[in-house]
Amino acid sequence: MIIYTSETIKSELSHLKDWYFENNSIVKNFKFNSFSQALGFIIQVGLAAEKRNHHPELLNNYDKVSIRLTTHDAKGVTNKDLDLAKAIDVIA
């Protein structure tokens, strides 16, 4: 597992749309047309996360979803987080 420095994270995030570094995590906010669309997205993210055995923090408020990724046992952002972020962007 590779643990990234804040400089490396910011560089890696330049390849991802709308993800940002905050509080030792990478975060992205999504907005959908309805609660049903947001919930469907959460389910797809959950399946992708389960496949990778890496689980995000998810917050849903009606048509909005916020995702925070960090590797808790590494106490920072790792390649596991960036891999899941890339998969999430494909889903969205």
List, for residues 42-75, the tens digit of each pLDDT value: 999 999 999 999 999 999 999 999 999 999 999 9
pLDDT confidence of residue 23 = 92
* 1: in domain: no
* 12: in domain: yes
Residue keyed to tokens 């990478």: 26
* 68: in domain: yes
The number of distinct structural domains making up the chain is 1
Instruction: Say which CATH number the domain at 70 has.
Output: 3.30.1360.20
Find the DSSP H helices in the chain.
Answer: 6-13, 35-52, 79-91
Domain range for 45: 6-91
Helix 35-52 × helix 79-91 angle, to 10°? 140
Distance CA(15)–CA(73), nearest Å, equals: 25
